[in-house]
Each structure stands twice: as C-alpha cells, then as structure tokens.
Amino acid sequence: MYKPERSKGGARQEERRNSAIDVVMRRLEALDNLSQLSEKEIAEEGGLAEEIAKAREMKDLKPTQLRKLFDKIKANERELKDKGWSAVEADFYLIRPKLAYAKARKLVPDKFFKLMDLSMKKVDRGDDEEKKENYGRFVQFLEAIVAYHKYYNGGN
C-alpha cells in the first residue's frame, strides 16, 4: 500500500507530540559513548540540556532530588580523577537503584529516570581512560540540566 511521504510540517507536528526527553534519548541512543556529545550540543541555547529542563515532565522534579544526584556524581568525579575508574565503579552502579527508589516514591519522573539510565549506560564503555572521558561528559550534561532546570523551574 502506498503511503505518501510526510511533509516537513507533519514531521514537526509528530516531534511536538513526542516529549523533548524522548527526542534527546533518541540522540543518545545513536551514540557509542557519552563523550561523543559535544559541550556545545549539551549547553547551547536550544541544546539537549535546555530541552530536557523545559520538558513538561521535568516540572515535577524537585530541585532537591536533582541536587542530591548531582552532588553524588560530582563527588564521584573528584575521586575518579584521583584514583581511577575502579575506585568509583561501585558507587557509579549504585546511582541507578537510588534513582529507581526516588522514581518509585514519585520524586523523580519516569522519563528522567530513563534518560539517566541511558546516559549511564553510555558512560560505562571502553577502557578506563574512555570511561573517565564519558564520565566527565556525563557530569557536564547533568550540570547543564541542573542549571537550566533551576532557570526554568525555579525552586518549585
């Protein structure tokens, strides 16, 4: 059966129906590892972090929960620089169950949990040096999300 091609307007309309987080997740899924994201793609106006922060699902995310996650990830980053991947590996893997617990308590939106889960899978790739690079980009990504979330959602 013949299906006419969608016009550009139709494609944009479908994208509007998808959550901004879904669009960002499709971008992340296309990557082999997180370090393939550029800082510009993450932080620029209309970039990935800003689109996530503006997503309607993120309005329910409490800044306290986001800050807790970010603080843990930053602490791991400091240790990673000093001691290497093996020193933070266990703490890194334990972030996911903590996020799952927060999600179950409705403190973290489902789509944000899925986004973080996907991002974390893109960190644990390659040798220790590649994991360090991926983790660094993960920190930058979350840092930009935290900043834009504060900007768009205030202290909700």
What are the pLDDT digits (tens) for 58-114? 988 988 889 999 999 999 999 999 999 999 999 999 999 999 999 999 999 999 999
CB–CB of 123/68 below 8 Å? no
Whole-model pTM? 0.85
The pLDDT, as a whole number, for residue 90 is 95
pLDDT of 10: 47
In sequence order, the 6+-apart residues with CB closer than 8 A to the CB of 27 are 48
User: Count of residues for the chain?
Assistant: 156
Tokens read off for 74: 């930053």
**Residue with tokens 């209309």, as numbered in its chain:** 46
Is the backbone of residue 154 left (phi > 0), alpha (psi -120 to 50) or beta?
left
In the three-class reduction of DSSP (H, G, I as helix; E, B as strand; rest coil), residue 27 is classed as helix
- Contact call for residues 84 and 149 (beta carbons, < 8 A): no
The residues near 103 (Cβ < 8 Å, ≥ 6 apart) are 109, 110, 113
- 54: Cα separation from own chain's centroid: 13
Rounded to whole angstroms, how far apart are CA atoms 31 and 40? 16
Quick one: pLDDT at residue 154?
Answer: 79
Mean pLDDT of the 31-45 span:
96
The per-residue pLDDT for 156 is: 54
- Cα–Cα distance between 75 and 22 in angstroms, integer? 28
* Least confidently predicted of 6-20, 44-58, 74-88: 6-20
Task: Tell me the chain's radius of gyration from C-alpha atoms.
Answer: 17
Number of Cβ within 10 Å of residue 29's Cβ equals 10
The whole-number pLDDT of residue 15 equals: 43
Residues sharing a CB contact under 8 Å with residue 74, sequence separation 6 or more, in sequence order: 139
Q: What is the pLDDT of residue 63?
A: 86
Q: What is the pLDDT of residues 103-143, one digit of tens each?
A: 999 999 999 999 999 999 999 999 999 999 999 999 999 99
Q: What is the pLDDT of residue 103?
A: 93
pLDDT of residue 64: 87
Over 60: is that where the pLDDT of 145 sits?
yes
